[in-house]
Amino acid sequence: MRAVHCNAFEGIKALTLTEAAEPQPAANEVLIDVHAASVSYMDYLMTCGGYQMRPALPYVPGTDAAGIVVACGERVSRFRPGDRVCCGNWFGGFAERMVAQESSTAFLPENVDFIVGSTILHAYLTAWYALVARAQLKADETVLVTGAAGGVGLACVELANLLGARVIAVVGSTAKAAVVREHGAREVIDHSREDVRQRVKALTDGEGVDVCVENIGGALFTTLARLMRWNGRLMPIGFTSGEIPSLPMNLPLLKNYSIVGVFVGPWKERFPDDARRAVDTVMKWVGEGKLRPHVDRVLPLERAAEAMGAVADRSAQGRTVLRVR
């Protein structure tokens, strides 16, 4: 089968398209004919050796995909060959076939194509875990999302809006303002040219935000740590700036706000039943058009390096997708 290999933890330059042996499903896994695979910042970070885990080299990148089940392990009970699914794994998606655990696979609604289907699981399940499970978001609360035009950020904007929150989106350029507004942001802050602290204070009458979904880290995280409302929830999800921040603990003390970590992968593994129920709800809402994943561009598998470059240089909005079949 055709597959993209990462041959060293050197980022995009270490990617090659080659022939690879087909994976075989374990007892709790399904084997999927991949039709489309989306490209995330996590995929890029892993190829650079900067993620929390490092697969054995060479490996096939790709966390999210969609396609058709071709085989099932002996303990799999929910799926059969021929089922249309989307699926997730730590890696393996940039190939004509991949395996995924049964608990990380979901039925794809008939009215959702494989391109869109490949963008759902990681982004929207992260958004669900952050806003529903961890923040316990309430309608009419104010949610601020950084990196709001990226895959996870845009999913958080859209889900928070659907749940009745007021959403403030922080983006890195004016070119990204339109897409976050289209997906539910009431206000937009361009941190490349605006003073985030002053804008948030003005938008919240000096009260700050109830929930902050923080994807960037570095100095922006430190600024937002001073803009939380009483009993707020500051939620670090990622550090796309490359800088992992530290926090003076008098800040959450003075406002009684919480630092709430969000790492969806281990949650799925530890609590698969909870994750499956969340996935079923998300997929239902996508099928009903209540959630509308945004696809920035679609490229063939052989242009995987270009697709990952769009993620790395932050020119992509929403998700970039590889068409595999």
**Segment 113-145, tens digit of pLDDT:** 999 999 999 999 999 999 999 999 999 999 999
How many CB atoms are closer than 10 A to CB 86?
Answer: 30
Q: pLDDT value at position 118?
A: 98
Note the pLDDT of residue 241.
Answer: 67
pLDDT at residue 167 tops 90: yes
Asked if the model's pLDDT at residue 290 lies above 80, the reply is yes
Is 165's pLDDT higher than 70?
Answer: yes
In this predicted structure, the answer to whether residue 13 has a pLDDT above a threshold of 90 is: yes
217 or 5, greater pLDDT: 5
* Higher per-residue pLDDT: 299 or 241: 299
State the virtual CA torsion across 260, 265, 269, 271 in degrees, nearest 10: 40
Rounded average pLDDT over 232-254: 84
Q: Given this model, what pLDDT does residue 307 score? A: 96
- Give 18-53 pLDDT, tens digit per residue: 999 999 999 999 999 999 999 999 999 999 998 888
Domains recognised in the chain with CATH numbers? 2-120+293-323 (3.90.180.10), 123-264 (3.90.180.10)
- Positive or negative, the CA dihedral 246, 247, 248, 253 is negative
* Cα separation, 159 vs 120, whole angstroms: 12
- Asked if residue 242 has pLDDT above 70, the reply is no
Its sign, for the CA torsion 311, 5, 1, 81, is negative
d(CA 297, CA 214): 25
Strand 228-236 relative to strand 209-214, pairing: parallel
How much is the pTM?
Answer: 0.92
DSSP for 41-73, written as a single string: HHHHHHHTT-SS--PPSSB---SEEEEEEEEE-
Q: Is the pLDDT of residue 302 over 70?
A: yes
